[in-house]
Amino acid sequence: MKNRILKNILIIEDNPGDSFYTKHILKEAEIGEFFTIIEDGEEAWEYLENCSKGLSNKKPDLIILDIHLPKISGLDLLKDLRQLPALSDTPIIILTVSKETKDFISSMVNGAEYYTVKPISKNEILKITNSIYSLNNKSLK
């Protein structure tokens, strides 16, 4: 296995086809080792709260978040997540079908590192993740 900064990746996506494709692209790009997929905002919040309390050994190194989720929206989840000290610096990529300017602005104001529209390519995910981690003088490959 190549040296990877990202071990645990959390994909929060309600469409099984989209989450499968995203996981496939991440694996193809050799980003991440373990993947957790959660399909609704409420379940994601419970999972992330447990991570922040140290009740899970799978604290995400990267979160891929859709904004259109059942129960709790991705935008609300993003805002609440940034209030959890243990996860406040976890990089979050918004991956959505929305091209709405208001969704982009809300995502960035509330702490997302990157906003992109589905589908995502291997080259794009490499560019995004390397951009995020280059701020810390780290490289994924």
Count of domains forming the chain: 1
Percent of the chain with pLDDT over 90: 64
Q: What is the mean pLDDT of residues 3-10?
A: 75
Strands lying side by side in the sheet with 62-65? 34-38, 8-12, 62-65, 92-96, 114-117
pLDDT on residue 9: 94
> What does the DSSP 8-state code read for residue 4?
-
- pLDDT tens-digit series, residues 109-129: 999 999 999 998 888 988 888
User: Does residue 72 form part of some domain?
Assistant: yes
User: Does residue 34 form part of some domain?
Assistant: yes
Q: Which domain holds residue 98?
A: 8-120
User: Does residue 3 form part of some domain?
Assistant: no
User: Does residue 139 form part of some domain?
Assistant: no
User: Does residue 53 form part of some domain?
Assistant: yes
Residue 110: name the closest of 84, 137, 76 by CA.
76
Alpha carbons 79 and 108: distance in angstroms, whole number = 10
- pLDDT tens-digit series, residues 28-58: 888 888 999 999 999 999 999 999 988 877 8
- Residue 108 makes CB contacts below 8 A (sequence gap 6+) with 115
CATH number for the domain that contains residue 67: 3.40.50.2300
User: Does residue 92 form part of some domain?
Assistant: yes
| Rg over CA atoms, the chain | 14
pLDDT on residue 135: 56
Alpha carbons 45 and 42: distance in angstroms, whole number = 5
User: Does residue 138 form part of some domain?
Assistant: no
User: Does residue 141 form part of some domain?
Assistant: no
pLDDT on residue 101: 96
pLDDT on residue 132: 80
* Torsion sign, CA atoms 83, 80, 103, 13: positive
Q: How many CB atoms lie within 10 A of CB 59?
A: 16
Residue 63: beta bridge partners? 10, 92
pLDDT on residue 140: 47
Alpha carbons 16 and 136: distance in angstroms, whole number = 33
Dmax over CA atoms of the chain, in Å, equals 40
Q: Is the pTM here over 0.85, yes or no?
A: yes
Residue 81 has pLDDT above 70, yes or no: yes
